[in-house]
Chains A and B, each alone.
Chain A
């Protein structure tokens, strides 16, 4: 993106007008659809405008880690599918997918969203593992917020499978037991270009962004994860303002659940 076109976007933002006509802190239309994959124990499809992400949860039993014998395991993986963006390549997750997975992981793990002690079946021997996989279907900007929303929606949708006598998951049986969810963290990414802030970027806007801050926000309005991206520095005043923007936007985002 050259500087003249960046200046053009900035001029529009200064007039409170995004490239698709939205105001700086408006999201595109958000839809959440639950139970979109019968193979998964929990699943959800999230659309933010044309951006589409699917999250699926598999629940598997495993031996707990020796240092945490009473806890089940949690794992988040993100697949930036090459189907969703011509710039994504097939193969193992790159930097972008790894960052996405880790940021989603952080807000779920650090908000203590899942009561991992309740995942324990037999201390030191057997516990449920929660594997969250997020796959991008169409990338029209803002995969971060869509991925976190999809992961949370899939967690809310998940139900335990049955358990065999040997202590393995019996996927033929689906119980009515939901995952022990204590917190419901969302993520809002606030972007900065020039002296302007905005949320829910389009792909074109993502290309000119100088700095971004992804903020994990719980339903109690506490902050549960942060990730600064982009190569420009942020001042503390910027951070304060961005967090306020994120908290406010999270309330609107939460209504889609």
Chain B
């Protein structure tokens, strides 16, 4: 059997597509070995790292991970905390001891801290094998998100929206004067002057659509200079 890559690095492949033939290649995330071939098991972009072949996924739901900062919406007030929808198949629980820096006494009216349909940026503190998720909303940068608006983007595109060390989102914040919080789960909170919010939203949507293409930062700078149009 010939040892060869059937596609190029950064090509998009579909489930069942053979990426490489030969036993010297190793299947990484998003791929599997079938006989002597490496086959894609997702729609994704090929990333070849030496002999290891993996896929960068382009779509899909958020998969909760410890230490991720996510935006959640209160869907229920419980005996000792709150249940949040975190834009994924599983909800998250915020215990009152992890909610705010002050002490909440037992029996307090929890709705004065978080009420139904309030949004907050929290950090995931635990995920069990059955996908029970805990979050905390006290700590640097974590808080209730008052007012503003929420948009949703593909969670897989969040790293591009944030940019290297937050460079992309900082650029958008600076040019539009909006306050922006990006959750790893694909929810983005924006608050600013209405017309500038529209510029910020259009820019974020463009990054989402073009996340896998090169030259993105230049296009985004141009777009922001043009008031949000390409």
Q: Give A residues with C-beta under 8 Å from B.
A: 1-2, 4-5, 7-9, 11-12, 15, 17, 19-21, 204
Contact = CB atoms under 8 A, between A and B. Distances in A.
Interface in B122-175: 146-150
B195 A8 contact: no
Interface of B: 115-118, 146-150, 191, 194-195, 197-198, 201-202, 228
A177 B201 CA distance: 49
10 contacts: A1-B117, A2-B117, A2-B118, A5-B147, A8-B148, A17-B194, A17-B195, A17-B198, A19-B149, A19-B198
A2 B148 contact: no
B195 A20 contact: no
Contacts of A20: 198, 201
B146 A11 contact: no
B115 A2 contact: yes
Given A2-B115, A2-B117, A2-B118, A15 B195 contact: yes
B147 A8 contact: yes
Contacts of A12: 194, 197
Nearest to A12: B194
Given A1-B117, A2-B117, A15 B194 contact: yes
Nearest to A21: B198
B195 A21 contact: yes
Given A15-B194, A21-B198, A204 B149 contact: yes
A207 to B, nearest CB: 10
A11 B194 CA distance: 8
A220 B106 CA distance: 66
Contacts of B118: 2
Nearest to A7: B147
A4 B148 CA distance: 8
A35 B131 CA distance: 48
B117 A8 contact: no
A4 B118 CA distance: 9
Given A5-B148, A17-B194, 6 more contacts: A2-B117, A5-B150, A8-B147, A17-B198, A20-B201, A204-B149
A4 B116 CA distance: 12
Contacts of B149: 5, 8-9, 19, 204
A4 B189 CA distance: 13
A2 B115 CA distance: 9
A8 B117 CA distance: 15
A19 B201 CA distance: 9
A2 B150 CA distance: 12
A84 B143 CA distance: 34
Contacts of B150: 5
A7 B147 CA distance: 7
A219 B105 CA distance: 65
Which among A12, A17, A20, A21 has the highest number of chain B CB atoms within 10 Å? A21
Contacts of A9: 149
Given A1-B117, A2-B115, A2-B118, A8 B198 contact: no
A198 B125 CA distance: 43
A28 to B, nearest CB: 14
Contacts of A11: 194
Contacts of B115: 2
Contacts of A5: 147-150
Nearest to B73: A2
A8 B191 CA distance: 8
A15 B195 CA distance: 9
A204 B117 CA distance: 13
Contacts of A19: 149, 197-198, 201
A5 B146 CA distance: 8
A208 B202 CA distance: 22
Contacts of B148: 5, 8
B76 to A, nearest CB: 15
A18 B168 CA distance: 25
A204 B197 CA distance: 15
Contacts of B197: 12, 19
B155 to A, nearest CB: 16
